[in-house]
Chain A
Amino acid sequence: MLRIFLLGLVFGIALTMGEIISWFRIQEMFYFESFHMFGVIGGAMAVGMLFNLAARRFKWGTESGAPLDIHQYTTGWKRYIYGGTVFGMGWAVTGACPGPLFITLGAGYWPILVAIFGALLGTFLYGLLMKHLPH
């Protein structure tokens, strides 16, 4: 658990030092007025891809010998495009995706608590309505 905490610590430091938690950076991103956010996400994706390719090639497993728990998303497209669009709308408003929601709190911008409460409320609403939504 200490290692997990430290990985979270690194993630929080990296996203703060990289200004990813700044509302301004998100506004810039959605107007394509800076490469910064695309560089961060694209860079993480590219290096992650190299890791995944190497893991497949060299059959890396977890430290306990199990296969890596790679995300295997169910097929279909509706939940991804609809849910993704709703999330994107919220991202442009709050300037924070779920990681930065919490990191921003750590950085001392207390009103983000309202957005965190909103995100929990939104999650709860999804749980109530999911049976009636296309997936």
Chain B
Amino acid sequence: MHTFDPWPWQVVGPLIAGVMSSLLLIGKRFGLSSNLRTMCSIAGANRFSDYFKMDWKSQSWNLVFVLGTIAGGAVARFALLKPGPVIINPKTALRLRAWGIDDAGTSFAPDILFGPEAWSNPAALAFLLIGGVLVGFGTRWANGCTSGHAISGLSAFQWPSLIAVAGFLLGGLIVAHLILPLLIPLL
């Protein structure tokens, strides 16, 4: 239990490609963000927009995949991974600490956002909510996320995916460099 060090990218990258390839051979497509649409459809969003009028049962396999990923996160964190901080670049850690993320470099995820204390911090909850809205809105607009565009799309030489990935980077750079320095100190 808890005996494994974090895995390097040389292990994780090919594993992800293996998952994508296996899904294709089974006859499915690797793409996580389409589940957001399926979940909205199941929750009754089809009454408000044709976008959610879909045969969600044909997508239920992907919800099973999501359940698997949740179980995987639990198995890895509570049985495999040695407890310890994510060793990030000291430059990153210093910058984040200057913004008020005191545990940068000494924990796995920032307590201020992901620890129990976040529930009593309205600014942190708003931060997570707004970020989530952008993720949902953006991935559906672009018709894919990291799994659909950056991994499946690019590896299948899809030009639209290259445009989408350029967008991912552009949006991330804008927020990380211009917006977060102003927002994080407010948490």
CB-based nearest B residue for A96: B135
Q: Report the Cα distance A123→B54, complex, angstroms.
A: 14
CB-based nearest A residue for B129: A118
CB neighbors of A among B115-159 (8 A):
115-116, 118-119, 124-125, 127-159
Q: Are B131's CB and A80's CB within 8 A?
A: no
Q: Report the count of interface residues on B (CB-CB < 8 A).
A: 131
Q: Is B167 close to A, CB under 8 A?
A: yes
Q: Are A87's CB and B92's CB within 8 A?
A: no
Q: Are A84's CB and B110's CB within 8 A?
A: no
Q: Is B1 close to A, CB under 8 A?
A: no
A interface residues (Cβ-Cβ under 8 A, vs B):
1, 3-31, 33-37, 39-49, 51-52, 55, 60, 62-64, 66, 68-77, 79-99, 101-112, 114-128, 130, 133
CB-based nearest A residue for B152: A71
Give the chain B neighbours of A14 by CB distance below 8 A. Answer: 7, 11-12, 15-16, 19, 72
Q: Is B76 close to A, CB under 8 A?
A: yes
Q: Report the Cα distance A90→B125, complex, angstroms.
A: 14
Question: A86 to nearest B CB, angstroms?
Answer: 3
Q: Are A123's CB and B127's CB within 8 A?
A: no
Interface of chain A, main secondary structure: helix
Q: Are B77's CB and A108's CB within 8 A?
A: yes
Question: A65 to nearest B CB, angstroms?
Answer: 10
Question: B4 to nearest A CB, angstroms?
Answer: 7
Give the chain A neighbours of B61 by CB distance below 8 A. Answer: 1, 4
With contacts A4-B65, A19-B6 known, is A93 near B175, CB below 8 A?
Answer: yes
Q: Are A87's CB and B143's CB within 8 A?
A: no
Give the chain B neighbours of A10 by CB distance below 8 A. Answer: 15, 18-19, 68, 72
Q: Report the Cα distance A45→B149, complex, angstroms.
A: 10
Q: Report the Cα distance A4→B89, complex, angstroms.
A: 36
Question: A81 to nearest B CB, angstroms?
Answer: 5
CB-based nearest A residue for B155: A48
